[in-house]
Homo-oligomer: A and B are copies of this chain.
Amino acid sequence: MPQYTPPIRDTRFVLDKVIGLDRYANLPGFQNATPDTVEAVLEQGGQFVAEVLFPLNQVGDQQGCTRHADGSVTTPDGFKEAYAQFVEAGWGTLSTPEEFGGQAMPHIISTAFQEYMISANMAFAMYFGLTHGAISSLLVKGSREQQAMYIPKMASGEWGGTMNLTEPQCGTDLGLIRTRAEPNADGSYSITGTKIFISSGDHDLTSNIIHLVLAKTPGAPESSKGISLFVVPKVIVNDDGSLGERNAVSCGSIEHKMGIHGNSTCVMNYDGAKGWLVGEEMKGLAAMFIMMNAARLGVGLQGLGVGETAYQNAVQYAGDRRQGRALTGPQEPGEKADTLFVHPDVRRMLMEAKAQTEGLRALCLWAALQVDLEHAAATEEERQLAADLIGLLTPVIKGVGTDIGYKVATDSQQVYGGHGYIAEWGMEQYVRDARIAMIYEGTNGVQAMDLVGRKLALNGGRAVQAFFKLVSEDIAAAKGDEQLNGFAESLEKGLGHLQGATMWLAANGFKNPNHVGAGAYPYMQLTGTVALGMMWLRMAKAAAEGLAAGAADAKFLEAKLVTARFYFERFLPDAGGLRRKIESGSDAVMALDPEMFRAA
């Protein structure tokens, strides 16, 4: 009963009018992203996910994955066939380098496609999403031999990939890892230990799964500095690339969880499994962080993807469902009731969802461009700026983006009234699926600490100053424009609060680091509010220019201007309150002894 249409028009608006892909046409990779190719990727990719993956979304939720007595794992009905189509069509190779059989398109294009795939079926998208993350680690830290052995088949989707970090006693604090890696005579290692919450840990979609596993070598220190990264294939790969022996790694059980039932979340047992070091010994955390940063952007995109589908359905329902009358009098007197669209509070929810998902889409695509520029920009200065910006905003996209996904899914469910709570309507699944994105790849609280505790101070605050400069320049440019001036002033106030809060943290955090921790979450929210504000100002500018030039899609562009106005009227007012929360410090937060939290 739910539906999904890829928002191609909006993606194109961001790529063509807001970001202006053509400005980057001379950069490596971008020559592969001609307007025609981009159009083809979005149209055909969108069609594939809407027709093949979306119909499996509810059945995946209902059936979940099954672990059989022999330890094998099967995915829900239809997943295997759909995955084969995914591989066949080459959708996994969009941004893979040509030397590994990929299409070498910019990251920004694969990101646009990835959003659609998540929207259609988040649990399904995770199978390749994890593979993609594993590839990114191997690309940077793997040896030439490892890259040649694993990447081509992973990129095509023929083999899967996973990240193995978490253990029962050890989540965020990776120093507590107990999995051991004993060196073998042949240069390989024997990996022994238990990993939990392993997304796509085992399944029937691929002939092999390449696990990247954090473990400790003998004598390694008991901290995160003692961690090494290993590649541990489910089936050992012979030197000629053929599949050899089954490795001693298996799925011990599948977790019963709130959502993303279509993805197999496994407890993985390593019983002396054969693995090979990736990069240097005891430098595993750095290698894993390459993967994690890519994954965090992907998780932010999950917030967008699930939110978008939920929003689309809420819009549909608001037009279908008739209940009550407009406050200003019946709008359709011939009908027994008006549609939900006449009710301002229903519209409030839809406009909030629209303003947040469209803003987040622009931010995610802009961030993906920074990833491209970090590698491909013409000058070192530009590369550094892009690296600074993406480093700063990765935790914001993950943290704020997934909070938005959950809020939008919840509000879209709310539009359905009682029907939203009933499984068959499909809305409650979006809420349950969206929920995990706030938790994994580092909880959103961990993202906030990454932003405030690490990224802010890095290189003397270079990244945050660059971000402020960027927003300020946008504001200054928009101020002379009659249509944009009000938006620019609103954003200027928000930026002022963010700058004030930044100064407060800089001045007080050194004295008491708990002030930094206590303000981290509202600071992340405030940064997100300003970052989305920057994107809305840019979108408003592009829309106004399009309208002035007599563009054909006037209604679409007018809606952009209205939504920009809504964003500045309804989200920017939070900025002052968020700043005051940050500047209230940590005294009340830290004052209670643990037992004083109990009121019972």
Contacts and interface: CB of A to CB of B under 8 A. Distances in A.
A144 interface: no
Interface string A399-440: 000000010001001100110111110001001100110111
Given A348-B518, A520-B344, A5 B588 contact: no
Given A521-B345, A600-B9, A328 B514 contact: yes
Given A324-B173, A418-B440, A588-B569, A345 B520 contact: yes
* A interface secondary structure, majority: helix
A469 interface: no
A339 interface: yes
A600 to B, nearest CB: 4
Given A417-B439, A562-B592, A323 B176 contact: yes
Interface stretch (A68-76, A370-378, A474-482, A575-583): A575-583
A281 B303 CA distance: 51
Contact of A7 (B319, B558, B591, B599): B599
Given A592-B562, A598-B315, A418 B445 contact: no
A448 B593 CA distance: 38
Given A354-B599, A600-B5, A421 B439 contact: yes
B422 A255 contact: yes
| Residue with the highest number of chain B CB atoms closer than 10 Å, among A9, A417, A555, A574 | A417
Given A414-B439, A569-B581, A577-B576, A256 B424 contact: yes
A553 B351 CA distance: 49
A7 B599 CA distance: 6
Interface of A: 5-10, 166, 170-173, 175-176, 196-197, 222, 255-259, 312, 315, 318-319, 322-324, 327-328, 336-337, 339, 341, 343-351, 354, 358, 406, 410, 413-414, 417-418, 420-424, 428, 431-432, 435-436, 438-440, 443-445, 448-449, 453, 512-514, 516-518, 520-521, 555-556, 558-559, 562-563, 565-566, 569-570, 573-578, 580-581, 584, 586-600
Given A339-B594, A570-B584, 6 more contacts: A8-B600, A319-B594, A344-B517, A413-B435, A555-B596, A577-B577
